[in-house]
């Protein structure tokens, strides 16, 4: 693959998957805000716990064989048939274990209805498992357009189910039902985009190399999902369902948009990193391209959320009229952490693409250990509303350490200097500085401290920052073409 080819694939993948993520996250954001109005904080907290455990369980689906398929040089139809039944057996086993453990989970957290909710969680696993091969083949073939369509369709369908159940008074089932529905829509979309009909054939020796790579890759994915959800598990344990709801709102508003962009970049970059692994110059170009897009898209958005956090959370209430104002400061801290998080996690697809799943797993384990340890310390030593602030601060505290390791690795192995890695963040940083000055200046005007006005000003500042970055990007592109 030539340098122009990998840039073209990165750009095409980013445009399609990026557009899909924007549509999906806007849909999610609007419907979740609407759902919050129909649910109490306790109902949101219980649903958040179930979904968090569900995401960890889901990480076992496929046992990393999706990544194995993407990086494999070639595969046969008989291998795919055998792999399908391996994946389905694993999904049924994982779902069964989750159901068996559900009474213990309910007892540990003191939350009613957990075993019943876990039935929906378990039922989703074979659906997601059946979609693994079609989606992996689409990714392997760089069919980003179809992947985008599947993602948008599944997100929209699940959002509508979630909203309908909430409006009908389903309480926690709004979140759990939406989670299950996403599996239905993902499978339907995957089979539409890449039809796959399993046959009655199974031979483990045929898929042993894929399973071997997959197991090493799966450990990284499992650690990653535990890492993504350990804060919910610990917050629910230490602070209860209502506080978990407050934390969930702050976390989702800050981290979910950033992680959507990060996921797009990672998915787009993984097959490209794999194809240019033997060409260090092209790999470095791909890495800088990804960092530039991450910084440009995420930094202004996180700054905007931080600037509007206090008035926005003050206006949000649950079905019983209780305010989510306590989520404002955690949201601001998490927004800052989100920028560091997406930059740090770009190292994972690079390690995977260059054939180092074991190192990726080790990094994921280290990340999980650091975050879990920091949050556990916060839960044991800090009580009350300040505890949520301490948990948010744990996210901000771990990433300088992780980024330090990644920078050192890139310098040693790929001869990329720290200054070169900072360069993609300079212009977005100037845009953020403009946003802060603009919003602080607006507060000195009449009605400048009104909640709605503060939200509107922060939104305008964000839009101006993105507009400036787009113009700057076009100017750089024009200079590069002359």
Q: pLDDT tens across 260-271, in order?
A: 778 777 777 777
Higher per-residue pLDDT: 18 or 87? 87
pTM: 0.80
Mean pLDDT throughout 283-301? 89
pLDDT 10s digits, 78-108: 777 887 888 888 889 989 999 999 999 999 9
pLDDT reported for residue 21: 59
Q: How far apart are CA 115 and CA 93, in angstroms?
A: 17
Confidence of residue 72 (pLDDT cuts 50, 70, 90): low
pLDDT reported for residue 25: 65
Higher per-residue pLDDT: 216 or 443? 443
Confidence of residue 201 (pLDDT cuts 50, 70, 90): confident
Query: What does the block give as tokens for 163?
Result: 């909203």
Task: Please give the sequence-ordered ranges of beta strands (E in DSSP) within 384-475, or none if there are none.
Answer: none
pLDDT reported for residue 151: 78
């Amino acid at each position: 693959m030539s340098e122009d080819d990998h840039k073209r694939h990165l750009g095409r993948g980013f445009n399609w998957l990026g557009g899909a993520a924007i549509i999906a996250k806007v849909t999610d954001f609007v419907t979740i805000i609407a759902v919050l109005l129909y649910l109490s904080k306790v109902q949101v907290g219980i649903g958040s716990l179930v979904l968090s455990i569900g995401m960890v369980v889901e990480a076992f689906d496929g046992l990393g064989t999706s990544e194995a398929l993407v990086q494999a040089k070639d595969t046969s139809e008989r291998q795919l048939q055998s792999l399908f039944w391996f994946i389905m057996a694993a999904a049924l086993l994982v779902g069964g274990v989750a159901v068996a453990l559900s009474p213990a989970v309910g007892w540990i957290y003191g939350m009613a209805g957990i075993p019943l909710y876990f039935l929906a969680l378990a039922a989703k696993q074979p659906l997601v498992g059946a979609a693994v091969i079609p989606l992996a083949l689409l990714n392997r073939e760089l069919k980003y357009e179809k992947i985008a369509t599947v993602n948008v369709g599944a997100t929209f369908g699940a959002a509508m189910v979630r909203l309908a159940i909430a409006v009908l008074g389903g309480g926690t089932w709004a979140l759990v039902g939406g989670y299950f529905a996403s599996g239905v829509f993902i499978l339907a979309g995957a089979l539409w985009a890449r039809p796959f009909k399993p046959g009655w054939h199974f031979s483990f020796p045929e898929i042993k190399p894929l399973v071997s790579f997959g197991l090493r890759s799966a450990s990284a994915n499992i650690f990653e999902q535990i890492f993504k959800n350990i804060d919910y598990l610990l917050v629910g344990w230490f602070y209860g369902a209502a506080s978990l709801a407050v934390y969930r709102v702050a976390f989702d508003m800050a981290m979910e948009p950033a992680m959507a962009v990060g996921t797009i970049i990672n998915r787009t970059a993984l097959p490209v990193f794999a194809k240019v692994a033997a060409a260090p110059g092209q790999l470095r170009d791909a890495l800088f391209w990804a960092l530039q897009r991450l910084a440009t898209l995420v930094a202004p958005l996180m700054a905007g959320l931080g600037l509007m956090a206090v008035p926005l959370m003050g206006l949000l209430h649950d079905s019983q009229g209780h305010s989510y104002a306590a989520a404002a400061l955690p949201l601001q801290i998490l927004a800052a952490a989100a920028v560091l998080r997406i930059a740090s996690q770009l190292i994972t697809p690079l390690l995977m693409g260059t054939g180092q799943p074991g190192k990726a797993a080790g990094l994921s384990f280290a990340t999980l250990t650091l975050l879990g340890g920091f949050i556990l310390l916060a839960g044991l030593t800090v009580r009350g509303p300040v505890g949520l602030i301490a948990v948010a601060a744990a996210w901000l505290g771990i990433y300088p350490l992780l980024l330090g390791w990644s920078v050192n690795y890139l310098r040693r192995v790929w001869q990329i200097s720290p200054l070169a890695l900072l360069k993609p963040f300079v212009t977005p940083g100037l845009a953020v500085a403009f946003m802060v000055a603009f919003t602080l200046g607006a507060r000195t005007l009449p009605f400048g401290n009104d909640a709605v006005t503060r939200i509107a000003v922060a939104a305008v500042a964000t839009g101006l920052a993105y507009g400036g970055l787009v113009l700057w990007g076009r100017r750089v592109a024009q200079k590069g073409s002359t």
